Structure 1
Amino acid sequence: MIKESWTESKKLWKIAGPAMFIRICAYSMMVITTICAGHLGVVELAAVAIQGNVIRGLAFGFLYGMGSALETLCGQAFGAGKIQMLGVYMQRSWLILLGTSVLLSFIYIFATPILKLLVQDEDVDDLAGEYALWMLPQLFAYALYFPMQKFLLAQRKLMAVAWIALAALIIHAFLSWLLIFQVGLGLVGAAITLNLSWYIIVTCQFLYIVYFCRDAWKGFSWLAFNDLWAFIRLSMASGVMLCLDFWYMSSLTLLAGHLKNAAIEVDAISICMNLNGWEAMIFIGFNAAISVRVSNELGAGRPNAAKFSVIVVILTSLSIGLICMGIILATKNQFAVLFTNSKVVRETVSNMAMLLGVTMVLNSVQPVLSGVAVGGGWQGLIAYVNVGCYYVIGLPLGLLMGYKFDLGAKGIWTGMICGTALQTVILLLITYFTNWNREAAQAEDRIRVWGGSAESYTNRSSKGKENAEYENNP
């Protein structure tokens, strides 16, 4: 068992390591922008936090979720040796996500009245709305980026993307310093820098796909327009499942804006959420890895291997989550200095350290279980679980504790943690009672309907040259 666990762990880390690094670099660009805004002023930090967690969060969550449909389809097609379908799937996802971005753009355009309708601080609303307009190009970068990311992830071609992400992060840090502080463009400079950094990533990834993924990318094809409705349904299920996760924690920042000293509360929550988001990139890496492992093994007809992979990744991620909690509690009086010069904000953050630590532990398991759901294609079921745990139980409980019991941001956060804890328990039970043999059969049906054929399953020992090489050399 120890040998098998070590072998599986190496397979997971081979995918998760680069995936984590890519996500940490991408997320760090936003954190750098937040840090710069914090040193411009309290209102500037709150405006960037509101735009990032509410306006961008709404769009990001939905597009990321819709793009995650490719984790199911590309992963299972790759496991079945249907590599040529990956490029077609990616193009279908581009069409759907770009169309969705056009609709989501109205959230950016009308950000100020939307935020004022939600009764935020007026000064923060005006600045956040102006900043949102400048950030509109990033929305369409997401629509191009997420399908490419899933396309490469399914093939485990992530090292080149990791180098691209690192280069973009370095460029972003330099341009942030130059445009925000030296040139004096303030938040406009921050928006220009962030948009430019994302389009550098998108352009470089596309060039890599064209020149180094010739087995899976055969150029643009009219096949991308086939079976669009079925693809939209799976994308929508993925979008609802994952965006409910993103919106849930984003609403914490929104609700904090209704409290006394709203700017201080929003700043403190923003700092905690940025650190939580940084840590979450580790577990989103595991989310990606387990999604690929489960979808590959189900597509290749190995249900027991998929189940074993789930056990290994849960234990690994939980251990890391406990370590992160310990670090936060040990440095609770120091870490806020990175983001702000305000003593009041730093003290507020220190008082929230325990909640942040507990959230980090829960977030070490929950994204992994969501990755299992994506790999298995259970998005519709998990969407119902998320609605019940988050919006029927967690959010109302948070409102009750925050406003009725006058516990402020800590009360809101505590109630929402209860919803996350319940969701995690339910996902664990669903995973535990899963019939993995049935899941493998459903993966076969899915591939046959969307580009595969039953003939590919007559000899499961031959699933494509690249897949076989990976299995023999984990």
Structure 2
Amino acid sequence: MCNHNHSLPTNNRQGLREHTRRQVPVMMDDRMETKLLRHEEEEEGDLKQRIWDESKKIWRVALPSIISRVSAFGTIVVTQSFIGHVSETDLAGYALVQSLSVRFINGILLGMSSATETLCGQSFGAGQHHMMGIHLQRSWIVDLITLTILLPILIFGTQIFKLVGEEESIANSGGYISLLFIPFVYNWIFSLTIQMYLQAQLKNMIIAWLAAFQFAFHISLSLVFVYKLNLGVSGAMLALLMSSWFVVIGEFIYIFGGWCPNSWKGFTVAAFKDLLPTVKLSVSSGVMLCLELWYYALLVLLAGYMPNAEVAISAFSICLNTNSWEFMISLGFVGAACVRVANELGRGNAKAVKFSIKVLLGTSALIGGFFFVLCLLFRKNLSYLFTNDERVADTVSDLSLLLSLSVLLNGVYPVLSGVAIGAGMQGAVAIVNLVCFYLIGIPLGALLGYLTSLGVKGIWIGMIGGVLTQTITLVYMIWRTDWDDEVKKASERLSRFYLNSDENSEQTSN
């Protein structure tokens, strides 16, 4: 009988085995490749979904904040526009007050109030909702005392401007306008802190509606007071005062009317307890933001020493206000960054913090790029919104490229500041701001402005140098941050400030 096992030649059997060995790995490789491709597609789809979900969370905070900040700052810019068409001297005086005194005070109050942003955001993330109302009341106490201490800056405006060497006519106009700003600045005690309190719990859409109405209301009032009643500068300032307090009254109605039942339990003497830790965090926040805002104010002061100071101040202020108005959009992302970082730290989720930062930076940078192009396109036309003076318009046109670069940087560094506020790292950022702005930016601006033929452009180049250095430093600092460690710090901070709901029995009103 034949042995069928040997019917196939030996060399054929070996060839079959070799063929099989070659085919199996190929089939396995195909399966592995298919699985990997499917996994990559799932990961890509999952990443897109995560970005979309995070973007929705960001815009839920950022959009109302942008609308409210753009509208609120818009009232100041509109007031400048109306005053500019009344008198060139008063335009320079208003620019001086708004860029120096008011920005100085706003910087301190905004910084002091950002402690509310840190504490309310982390309390909401940790589920300590009742603490948010106490943090809000503590911030009112701290800000009220702070602003009252700062009042001499507005009361003695004329003397201060003359002391720093401004022209007498501009100093006198600025001193008068400073007095008219006093009732206006007191609205910041409430408007700044309430916005941070509401956005921490994702309820700031009401502020967007109030601010949008305020902007339209303000324009209408300004037209009536300045052109119909011929009240001039006083009419423009009266319109600013009335429209700003309209928002505060609306915010009070919303909070006290029961729309924040979990976080507002009524006025309580508990707000007066443990004020010192709040003050410490507020001061570090204040120093951080003040060093940033005062930086621009000091550059306006440098412009005031240029030949033909009236034109230099007006042009610089127009560009600065345009930059600041676009910066209000960036501040919306500052608020979103603060809320998202603070909420996730309060929840103890370090990975979510890192992912949120990436999405925030990408979105804000794209918007900065859009406005960069917009500023380049409009150039000289910007100035005619504020003045009919051709000399000012020409100077603004010369600054347009530098203005565009500043707008582009606005898409990055404010978000990094918001991340720092959300994490409670204000002290470290304050040191960064001090070095980058005051040891690099201002000396560079003064050097280029006074020792070269660049003039006002040299001052602005110095400003960009300081901002660029700060941006690079903050990127490195955030990149090197151990977010797991920041979660522990947030937990310790919340424990230090925590009061049980039962301890709020000493409420005086609801």
Q: Same fold (TM over 0.5)?
A: yes
Q: Is the contact between residue 72 and residue 376 of structure 1 (CA under 8 Å) also seen in structure 2?
A: yes
Aligned to 2:189: 143
Letter aligned with residue 210 of structure 1: F
Aligned partner (choices 82, 104, 110) of residue 64 of structure 1: 110
3-state SS of the aligned residue for 1:107? helix
**Alignment partners' CA distance in 2, 1:78 and 1:333:** 46
Aligned partner (choices 126, 133, 149) of residue 179 of structure 2: 133
Aligned to 2:278: 231
Aligned to 1:389: 436
**Alignment partners' CA distance in 2, 1:108 and 1:386:** 26
3-state SS of the aligned residue for 2:443? helix
**Alignment partners' CA distance in 2, 1:154 and 1:7:** 18
Aligned to 1:163: 209
1:168-317 mapped onto 2 (5 Å cutoff):
168-211=214-257, 212-317=259-364
**Alignment partners' CA distance in 2, 1:333 and 1:388:** 33
Q: Which runs of 4+ in 1 moved over 4 A?
A: none
Deviation at 1:111, TM superposition (A): 0.8
Aligned to 1:409: 456
Q: Is the contact between residue 82 and residue 452 of structure 1 (CA under 8 Å) also seen in structure 2?
A: no
Aligned to 1:469: none
Deviation at 1:114, TM superposition (A): 0.7
Aligned to 1:444: 491
Residue 432 of structure 2 is aligned to residue 366 of structure 1: no
Structure 1 or 2, whichever has the larger Rg, is 2
3-state SS of the aligned residue for 1:258? coil
3-state SS of the aligned residue for 2:290? helix
Deviations 1:262-313 (A, max 9, x none): 1111111111112111110111000000100000000001111011100111
Aligned to 2:165: 119
Aligned to 2:124: 78
Deviation at 1:408, TM superposition (A): 1.1
Residue 100 of structure 2 is aligned to residue 54 of structure 1: yes
Deviation at 1:41, TM superposition (A): 2.1
Letter aligned with residue 213 of structure 1: C
**Alignment partners' CA distance in 2, 1:175 and 1:21:** 20
3-state SS of the aligned residue for 1:432? helix
Deviation at 1:32, TM superposition (A): 0.7
Aligned to 1:468: none
Residue 433 of structure 2 is aligned to residue 377 of structure 1: no
Q: Is the contact between residue 77 and residue 452 of structure 1 (CA under 8 Å) also seen in structure 2?
A: no
Aligned partner (choices 99, 102, 119) of residue 148 of structure 2: 102
Q: Is the contact between residue 105 and residue 139 of structure 1 (CA under 8 Å) also seen in structure 2?
A: no
3-state SS of the aligned residue for 2:267? coil
Letter aligned with residue 484 of structure 2: N
**Alignment partners' CA distance in 2, 1:253 and 1:201:** 30
Deviation at 1:62, TM superposition (A): 0.4
Normalising by the residue count of structure 2, what TM-score does the alignment of the two structures yield? Answer: 0.88
Q: Percent identity between the aligned chains?
A: 42
Aligned to 2:20: none
Deviation at 1:240, TM superposition (A): 0.6
1:305-384 mapped onto 2 (5 Å cutoff):
305-384=352-431
**Alignment partners' CA distance in 1, 2:462 and 2:436:** 11
The runs of 5 or more residues in structure 2 that have no matched partner are 1-46, 501-510
3-state SS of the aligned residue for 1:334? helix
**Alignment partners' CA distance in 2, 1:195 and 1:106:** 19
Deviations 1:377-402 (A, max 9, x none): 00011111100110111101111110
Deviation at 1:40, TM superposition (A): 1.0
Q: Is the contact between residue 39 and residue 340 of structure 1 (CA under 8 Å) also seen in structure 2?
A: yes
**Alignment partners' CA distance in 2, 1:392 and 1:219:** 46
Aligned to 1:465: none
Deviation at 1:244, TM superposition (A): 1.1
**Alignment partners' CA distance in 2, 1:3 and 1:171:** 40
Deviation at 1:371, TM superposition (A): 0.1
**Alignment partners' CA distance in 1, 2:182 and 2:376:** 37
Deviation at 1:452, TM superposition (A): 6.1
**Alignment partners' CA distance in 1, 2:209 and 2:191:** 15
3-state SS of the aligned residue for 2:186? helix
Aligned to 1:466: none
Aligned to 1:470: none
**Alignment partners' CA distance in 2, 1:321 and 1:227:** 41
Letter aligned with residue 212 of structure 2: L
Letter aligned with residue 456 of structure 2: A
Letter aligned with residue 298 of structure 2: S
Letter aligned with residue 392 of structure 1: L
**Alignment partners' CA distance in 2, 1:94 and 1:338:** 36
Q: CA RMSD in A?
A: 1.0
3-state SS of the aligned residue for 2:151? helix
Letter aligned with residue 134 of structure 1: L
3-state SS of the aligned residue for 1:135? helix
Deviations 1:210-243 (A, max 9, x none): 1111211111100001110111000000001011
Deviation at 1:187, TM superposition (A): 1.0
3-state SS of the aligned residue for 1:215? coil
Letter aligned with residue 287 of structure 1: V
Letter aligned with residue 251 of structure 2: Q
Deviation at 1:194, TM superposition (A): 1.0
Deviation at 1:336, TM superposition (A): 1.7
Deviations 1:449-468 (A, max 9, x none): 10168xxxxxxxxxxxxxxx
**Alignment partners' CA distance in 1, 2:206 and 2:477:** 36
**Alignment partners' CA distance in 2, 1:22 and 1:134:** 23
**Alignment partners' CA distance in 2, 1:166 and 1:322:** 25
Normalising by the residue count of structure 1, what TM-score does the alignment of the two structures yield? Answer: 0.94
Aligned partner (choices 46, 59, 79) of residue 33 of structure 1: 79
**Alignment partners' CA distance in 2, 1:257 and 1:102:** 28
